[in-house]
Amino acid sequence: MAPIISIKGLEKTYDNGFQALKGVDLDIEEGEVIALLGPNGAGKSTLLNCLVGIANKTAGTVTVGGHDITRDFRKAREMIGLVPQEMSVEVFEKVINTVKFSRGLFGKPQDDARIERILKDLTLWDKKDNRIRELSGGMKRRVMIAKALSHEPRVLFLDEPTAGVDVELRKEMWEVMSELKKSGVTIILTTHYIEEAEAMADRVGVISKGELLLVEETDTLMKSLGKKVLEIELDSPATEVPPALAEKGVELSPSGKLVYTYDTAAEQTGITDILADIRSAGLRLADLSTKQSSLEDIFVDLVTQQKSEEEDAA
Ligand SMILES: Nc1ncnc2c1ncn2[C@@H]1O[C@H](COP(=O)(O)OP(=O)(O)O)[C@@H](O)[C@H]1O
Ligand SMILES: [Mg+2]
């Protein structure tokens, strides 16, 4: 199946000369939830904004539902519902009117049954005649989502849906997103919370300084966290892994080193046994080194940054 969104070589340089996106490639399948994970300033909003025409891309091609976002902007834009990072709602307006109005902006015919369905799905139906300023923070956020869904988009963008909200509201938003996923909407959300990406996304893209560093299935990504690699150099390059070591998961690198990946969180890493096996196989060590997987480096950077932000905020 053709991807619902296809991004190739997307670049964005702002008028002041700052390059916020440096060639992003990404295909998104219909029905998946993808989280773009990255620290503040990474370029997450810029990416979404380029896709909906709030920012103009400098280079690259993007198609949404097969429509080129430059040549066929209206058709492409129609397929996307955007929940922007900054909440912007008309506080004196009634919930139902603001959602109907959003639909009208896309030139869609009035459809009261559809609006009712959307408000019910977001448990806003009881509040349909309330003015937005009377609503709680969580409900206001749901109104933003209702607006974004009002024109029946196939893709929903949620830009930092839970930034700066308390834990309870975050959980509430996660539930709302899970329900939306079940209904089959494709979701792209941006976040700087690893837990959020883990909880919500089928795939995670890590974005930093305008580059998409990796895109990976969430499960795979989470498994590779907390892993370290031990490299064992022998006095002459190994040509095969001795059976006792192979059994423990030791592998051979192209340069003839023995490589062992272990879980830093495990009670026993198995390193002592491996070194003993090397000795009993009659092999001699020349050098030993351990390194974190690059993925982990990225996450450590992210977490460190996240922590310092939280400290700044506190
Ligand atoms: N209108 C603009 N003009 C110049 N630079 C901008 C503009 N908007 C954003 N930037 C810069 O682009 C980078 C990426 O911003 P943004 O996409 O908002 O990041 P994120 O959403 O990941 O926090 C930041 O360094 C930001 O300062
Ligand atoms: Mg942003």
Ligand nearest to the CA of 43: 1
Give the residue whose CA is nearest to atom 24 of ligand 1.
41
pLDDT tens digits for the chain (314 residues)? 789 999 999 999 999 999 999 999 999 999 999 999 988 899 999 999 999 999 999 999 999 999 999 999 999 999 999 999 887 778 889 999 999 999 999 999 999 999 999 999 999 999 999 999 999 888 999 999 999 999 999 999 999 999 888 888 888 889 989 988 998 899 999 998 888 888 899 999 999 899 998 899 998 887 777 778 899 999 988 899 999 999 999 999 999 999 998 887 777 888 999 999 999 999 999 999 988 766 666 666 666 666 677 677 77
Are the C-beta atoms of residues 131 and 92 closer than 8 Å to each other? yes
Ligand nearest to the CA of 207: 1
Of 264, 255, 254, which is closest to residue 291 (Cα–Cα)? 264
CB contact burial 129-157 (16+ within 10 A = b; e otherwise): eeebeebeebbbbbbbbbbbbbbebbbbb
Measured torsion, CA atoms of residues 118, 122, 123, 125, in degrees rounded to the nearest 10: -30
Q: Give the architecture-level CATH label for domain 5-222.
A: 3-Layer(aba) Sandwich (3.40)
- How far apart are the CA of 160 and the centre of ligand 2, in A? 7
Q: Could you identify the atom of ligand 1 that is nearest to the CA of residue 207?
A: 22
5-222 and 227-295 in the same fold: no
pLDDT by residue (tens digit) across 142-158? 999 999 999 999 999 99
Ligand 1, pocket residues at CB < 6 Å: 14, 16, 18, 20, 38, 40-46
Q: Could you identify the atom of ligand 1 that is nearest to the CA of residue 49?
A: 17
Instruction: List the shell of residues around ion ligand 2, using CB closer than 5 Å.
Output: 44-45, 85
Residues in the chain: 314
- How far apart are the CA of 49 and the centre of ligand 1, in A? 10
- On whether the 227-295 domain is CATH 2.40.160, my answer is no
Q: Could you identify the atom of ligand 1 that is nearest to the CA of residue 159?
A: 21
Substitution site in 10, 15, 18 for ligand 1 pocket (most atoms within 8 Å of beta carbon): 18
Which element (helix H / strand E) includes 306?
helix 294-313
Ligand nearest to the CA of 55: 1
Q: Would you kindly state where each structural domain of the chain is located, as residue ranges? A: 5-222, 227-295
